[in-house]
Amino acid sequence: MGRAARAAARQIAAADTSVKNRALKAIAGELKSQRALLMAANALDMQAGREHGLDAALLDRLELNDARIEDMIEGLVQVADLPDPVGEIKDLRYRPSGIQVGKMRVPLGVVGIIYESRPNVTIDAASLCLKSGNATILRGGSEALRSNKAIAVCIAAGLRAAGLPETAVQVVDTRDRAAVGALITMPEYVDVIVPRGGTGLIERVSREARVPVIKHLHGVCHVYIDDRADLQKAFDIALNAKTHRYGVCNAMETLLVAEAVAVDILPRLARAYEEKGVELRGCARTQEILPSCNAAREEDWSEEYLAPILAIRVVAGMDSAIEHIVRYGSGHTEAIVTRDYSRGRRFLSEVDASSVMINASTRFADGFEYGLGAEIGISTDKIHARGPVGLEGLTSQKWIVLGDGHIRQ
Amino acid sequence: MGRAARAAARQIAAADTSVKNRALKAIAGELKSQRALLMAANALDMQAGREHGLDAALLDRLELNDARIEDMIEGLVQVADLPDPVGEIKDLRYRPSGIQVGKMRVPLGVVGIIYESRPNVTIDAASLCLKSGNATILRGGSEALRSNKAIAVCIAAGLRAAGLPETAVQVVDTRDRAAVGALITMPEYVDVIVPRGGTGLIERVSREARVPVIKHLHGVCHVYIDDRADLQKAFDIALNAKTHRYGVCNAMETLLVAEAVAVDILPRLARAYEEKGVELRGCARTQEILPSCNAAREEDWSEEYLAPILAIRVVAGMDSAIEHIVRYGSGHTEAIVTRDYSRGRRFLSEVDASSVMINASTRFADGFEYGLGAEIGISTDKIHARGPVGLEGLTSQKWIVLGDGHIRQ
């Protein structure tokens, strides 16, 4: 598969934008016409999953229904509509020697994606890699194998219809866990690995990979309400960042509140959270202000709840808030609410995270909200791609030099 | 050292440009005033090296003399004069939700550099990391330990003079090889490793690292002379690419010549190479045209000679040349000489290397020639930084979001 992917990568890298778009739309057409087959394959996965005692959340993620197939089709059309990043030339400038030097955007080559139960990731990942000119090897969860194989048949048919090699997108067709081990240790065939899934998967891949990894580890996001915050905005943002959705990586997990405004804002916020059924776990000072609040343990400050639970800490001011974020944050998304220009400027500079925000909800940290059109994930790495990763994150650049017989003196 | 570097990284990341520049100039001043001490420390390294039977090339690289110390001082001043990449904000745009989204350039954090005998790398690496706002842990060759420690004393004094923590640049003060193993497996303290040295070192680091690596593997560079080349330009470029300097990674190692012009250009080129003392190793067709040429074996096509030796192959045309480059090239620098617009355009798109050139000598692949001001090395990786790596390659970006109470709908 590695050799086939490497060969296909050259063809897909050289493919015109129109050919890649034709393939994306042909895959969408296949999904539409093969809907009954997809549902049947998925029904078998669901049945096996129930027999193996998968929990309700996993079964929900595994399920394909009409709405989800519609979303996959819509996603393909959207990716086809995005601008093609490949071949973009930037900063082409004359140098004193007379040569022109610039940078051209190029595909990475072969992208390996390792993910868990959701079969729609198969289409998301395949479409982004295809549009960015990469060949892909997809390794989905074994519980979704039949669904993924049915989707792979549609992808192959779409590629064929556009005259592209079917091996440009390959789905690993085995439940053998050794396949992951092989995929992440073949730098000669795989240029980058994107693991998508639980912490266990990502830690294993990071530990064992001999191929570069673009990964998302934890999302322990903070909102800090400064003593110079507009309290109505602070209220709106703190509520939105926690309760807009719970199971997402950009949800706030810990709220930091400046001592000077804690008595003003925490009781109002606590009532709003309670109405939404959010459990609060606070520091000692928070418990003084909110007597019904549970006590936060040390572990709570590092916890990614992904649930209606919120840790709250009252801090002396911005410096203490930044100290807390440096110590417990995961480098995902951090926000300050303040009216103070200097503090906003300092927070922006001094907090090191993939997204840093002033007066906005952490929930905005997302490829669609940032205008990337689509995302293959959110990277908490510092190297290569950071934050939401769209088509550009799946490309590299090469230097180009245009001369007219120039030699080095 | 890791913990100290992590703490210093925060301070250096937040340091003003003027403070960093003051430190760079203070270090230059220290080198100037401590010249006698540096020479004395280096003399001990040289003596020990001779006693341990280091070869002449290694001893030459190890030696510090007046000119080399002058170069180090000059390098520091040049880096101080480069624009500061940190804090640059790009592409700040309003999104339909009302938030402004952009990217801010930030230091990587802690950079580990592992290198071999040349002590001047200590200053090059320290200055580039300092200017780009990173803390550094430097692990030089054990044969240069006394020289590096003397340089480290100057660096520490310069940092202190500018009010920056001395731990922003730390030199590993042991000959124990286990230090390298520790440095490359501490992702909690080191954000990226840059190994500089022979293939053995780089392969070891790549194999064992659990920290991202920016590396340079091989430089098997090609020049392809197309049948539509201007033959005078082809002659100049082929001669310059091989003979301008031999021991450098961007020197041409294999010359590819289109069959239709081989008889015209090869004899002239062979005479010029012979005058320079370059040994030629050709394919069967090359030997027919140049009877005195040695036979190239299969291994020659993959060889990075770094010496006055050149492999020559006659190919049918550009497609065969690209096939050869895909098979044997190392992704460093590849050049075509042609007058044909379509072929130049295709070569630029289809050849995947860190630098791809039309009608220019491969010797231009260099941070100074490209306008980066200075380089920490040339990366043959595809991820993060590719080709010459200057200050920008030592930074990352974070997303910034400016709102005014915006919440996600």
Domain coordinates of chain B in residue numbers?
2-215+381-402, 221-364
The fold of A2-215+381-402 is Aldehyde Dehydrogenase; Chain A, domain 1 (3.40.605)
- Give A 169-208 residues with CB within 8 A of chain B: 191-192, 206-207
Count of CB atoms situated within 10 Å of the CB of B314: 24
User: Which CATH architecture describes the domain A221-369?
Assistant: 3-Layer(aba) Sandwich (3.40)
Q: Does A352 touch chain B (CB under 8 A)?
A: yes
Sheet holding A294-295, edge to edge: A294-295, A279-282, A309-315, A252-258, A221-225, A333-337, A355-360, B395-406, B100-107, B89-94
CB contact under 8 A, B95 and A206: no
Residue range B88-92: average pLDDT? 95
CA trace torsion B336, B340, B346, B352 (10° rounding): 10
CB contacts of B336 in chain A (<8 Å) are: none
Kindly give, in sequence order, each residue whose CB lies less than 8 Å from that of residue A329, ignoring residues fewer than 6 positions away: A220, A221, A222, A351, A353
Judged by DSSP in three states, B87 sits in coil
Q: What is the CA radius of gyration of chain A?
A: 24
Q: Does A359 touch chain B (CB under 8 A)?
A: yes
A106: phi then psi, degrees, rounded to nearest 5:
-135, 155
Asked if the model's pLDDT at residue A123 lies above 80, the reply is yes
For residue A403, give the nearest of B93, B99, B359 by CB distance: B359
- Give B 22-81 residues with CB within 8 A of chain A: none
A vs B: CB pairs below 8 A: 220
Asked if the model's pLDDT at residue A117 lies above 80, the reply is no
Mutate to test the interface with B, among A207, A230, A336, A401 (most CBs of B within 10 A): A401
Q: Does B91 touch chain A (CB under 8 A)?
A: no
- Amino acid residing at A304: E
The closest alpha carbon to B86, from B32, B20, B170, B3, belongs to: B20
Q: What is the CA radius of gyration of chain B?
A: 24
> For A125-159, b where at least 16 C-beta lie within 10 A, e where not — what string?
bbbbbbbbbbbbbbbbbbbbbbbbbbbbbbbbbbb
Beta-bridged to residue B98, according to DSSP, are none
Q: Does A211 touch chain B (CB under 8 A)?
A: no
Residue of A nearest to B339 (CA): A404
Q: What is the C-alpha to C-alpha distance for residues A31 and A42, in angstroms, rounded to an integer?
A: 13
Residue of B nearest to A350 (CA): B14
Count of CB atoms situated within 10 Å of the CB of B244: 17
Q: What is the C-alpha to C-alpha distance for residues B200 and B180, in angstroms, rounded to an integer?
A: 13
Judged by DSSP in three states, B128 sits in helix
CB contacts of A97 in chain B (<8 Å) are: 364, 369
CB contact under 8 A, A381 and B106: no
Query: What share of chain A in percent tops pLDDT 70?
Result: 100
Asked if the model's pLDDT at residue B234 lies above 80, the reply is yes
Q: What is the C-alpha to C-alpha distance for residues A285 and A304, in angstroms, rounded to an integer?
A: 22
Helix (H) or strand (E) holding B284, with range, is helix B284-289
For residue B369, give the nearest of A95, A361, A382 by CB distance: A95
CB contacts of B7 in chain A (<8 Å) are: none
CB contacts of B357 in chain A (<8 Å) are: 400-403
Q: Quick one: pLDDT at residue B177? A: 81
Confidence tier at A175 by pLDDT (50, 70, 90) = confident
Distance from CA of B288 to the nearest CA of A (A): 28
The closest alpha carbon to A4, from A161, A162, A177, A159, belongs to: A159
Count of CB atoms situated within 10 Å of the CB of A391: 26
- Amino acid residing at A325: I
Judged by DSSP in three states, B78 sits in helix
Is-contact A385 A379, C-beta < 8 A? yes
ipTM here: 0.93
Q: Quick one: pLDDT at residue A214? A: 93
Q: What is the C-alpha to C-alpha distance for residues B186 and B192, in angstroms, rounded to an integer?
A: 10
CB contacts of B407 in chain A (<8 Å) are: 236-237, 239-241, 244, 360-361, 363
Mutate to test the interface with B, among A370, A379, A408 (most CBs of B within 10 A): A408
CB contact under 8 A, A405 and B97: no
Query: What share of chain B in percent tops pLDDT 70?
Result: 100
CB contacts of B396 in chain A (<8 Å) are: 382-383, 386
Give per-residue pLDDT as tens, B140-156. Answer: 999 999 999 999 999 99
Residue range A86-91: average pLDDT? 95
Q: What is the C-alpha to C-alpha distance for residues A24 and A8, in angstroms, rounded to an integer?
A: 16
CB contact under 8 A, A384 and B387: no
State the residue for tokens 């959705």: A245
A359: left (phi over 0), alpha (psi -120 to 50) or beta: left
Give per-residue pLDDT as tens, B246-262. Answer: 999 999 999 999 999 99
Asked if the model's pLDDT at residue A36 lies above 90, the reply is yes
Q: Does A375 touch chain B (CB under 8 A)?
A: no
Report helix angle A66-81 to A35-51, nearest 10. 120
The closest alpha carbon to A269, from A249, A248, A252, belongs to: A252
CB contact under 8 A, B371 and A240: no
CB contacts of A386 in chain B (<8 Å) are: 396-399
CB contact under 8 A, B399 and A386: yes
B102: phi then psi, degrees, rounded to nearest 5:
-155, -175
Tokens at B397, concatenated:
């970006």
Give per-residue pLDDT as tens, B31-66. Answer: 999 999 999 999 999 999 999 999 998 899 999 999
Q: What is the C-alpha to C-alpha distance for residues B409 and B406, in angstroms, rounded to an integer?
A: 9
Kindly give, in sequence order, each residue whose CB lies less than 8 Å from that of residue B90, ignoring residues fewer than 6 positions away: B102, B103, B104, B105, B397
Residue range A38-50: average pLDDT? 97
DSSP B64: -
Asked if the model's pLDDT at residue B12 lies above 80, the reply is yes
Q: What is the C-alpha to C-alpha distance for residues B352 and A7, in angstroms, rounded to an integer?
A: 13
Distance from CA of B44 to the nearest CA of A (A): 37
> Angle at Cα A181 formed by Cα A175 and Cα A182, nearest 5°?
95
Kindly give, in sequence order, each residue whose CB lies less than 8 Å from that of residue A78, ignoring residues fewer than 6 positions away: A373, A374
Distance from CA of A143 to the nearest CA of B (A): 30
Q: Quick one: pLDDT at residue A85? A: 96
Q: What is the C-alpha to C-alpha distance for residues B81 and B128, in angstroms, rounded to an integer?
A: 12
How far, rounded to the nearest angstrom, does the alpha carbon of residue B251 sit from its chain's CA centroid? 13
DSSP B330: -
Q: Quick one: pLDDT at residue B267? A: 98
Distance from CA of B307 to the nearest CA of A (A): 18
Asked if the model's pLDDT at residue B117 lies above 80, the reply is no
Q: Quick one: pLDDT at residue B116? A: 86
Residue of B nearest to A108 (CA): B382
Tokens at B220, concatenated:
């098997």
Asked if the model's pLDDT at residue B284 lies above 80, the reply is yes
Q: Quick one: pLDDT at residue A177? A: 82
The mean predicted confidence, pLDDT, of chain B is 95
Asked if the model's pLDDT at residue B217 lies above 90, the reply is no
The mean predicted confidence, pLDDT, of chain A is 95
Kindly give, in sequence order, each residue whose CB lies less than 8 Å from that of residue A132, ignoring residues fewer than 6 positions away: A85, A86, A107, A108, A391, A394, A395
Q: Does A330 touch chain B (CB under 8 A)?
A: no
SS3 letters for chain A?
CHHHHHHHHHHHHCCCHHHHHHHHHHHHHHHHHCHHHHHHHHHHHHHHHHHCCCCHHHHHHHCCCHHHHHHHHHHHHHHHHCCCCCCCEEEEEECCCCCEEEEEEEECCEEEEEECCCCHHHHHHHHHHHHCCCEEEEECCHHHHHHHHHHHHHHHHHHHHCCCCHHHEEECCCCCCHHHHHHCCCCCCCCEEEEECCHHHHHHHHHHCCCCECCCCCCCEEEEECCCCCHHHHHHHHHHHHHCCCCCCCCEEEEEEEHHHHHHHHHHHHHHHHHHCCEEEECHHHHHHCCCCEECCHHHHHCCCCCCEEEEEEECCHHHHHHHHHHHCCCCEEEEECCCHHHHHHHHHHCCCCEEEEEECHHHCCHHHHCCCCCCEEECCCCCCCEEECCHHHEEEEEEEEEEEECCC
Distance from CA of B403 to the nearest CA of A (A): 5
For residue B236, give the nearest of A349, A371, A405 by CB distance: A405
CB contact under 8 A, B386 and A396: yes
Judged by DSSP in three states, B185 sits in coil
Q: Quick one: pLDDT at residue A357? A: 98
Count of CB atoms situated within 10 Å of the CB of B210: 15
Report the relative pairing of strands A100-107 and A89-94 from DSSP bridges.
Answer: antiparallel
Asked if the model's pLDDT at residue A296 lies above 90, the reply is yes
Q: What is the C-alpha to C-alpha distance for residues A101 and A209, in angstroms, rounded to an integer?
A: 34
Asked if the model's pLDDT at residue B385 lies above 80, the reply is yes
Tokens at B48, concatenated:
């020990």
CB contacts of B352 in chain A (<8 Å) are: 13, 106, 109, 398
Q: Quick one: pLDDT at residue B206? A: 87
Q: What is the C-alpha to C-alpha distance for residues A221 and A254, in angstroms, rounded to an integer?
A: 7
Q: What is the C-alpha to C-alpha distance for residues B305 and B400, in angstroms, rounded to an integer?
A: 47
Where do runs of H (alpha helix) occur along B15-55?
17-33, 35-51
Give per-residue pLDDT as tens, B323-338. Answer: 999 999 999 999 999 9
Is-contact B252 B311, C-beta < 8 A? no
Q: What is the C-alpha to C-alpha distance for residues A19 and A244, in angstroms, rounded to an integer?
A: 39
In CATH terms, the superfamily for domain B221-364 is: Aldehyde Dehydrogenase; Chain A, domain 2 (3.40.309.10)
Report the relative pairing of strands B169-171 and B377-379 from DSSP bridges.
Answer: unpaired
Q: Does A398 touch chain B (CB under 8 A)?
A: yes
The closest alpha carbon to B75, from B118, B110, B36, belongs to: B118
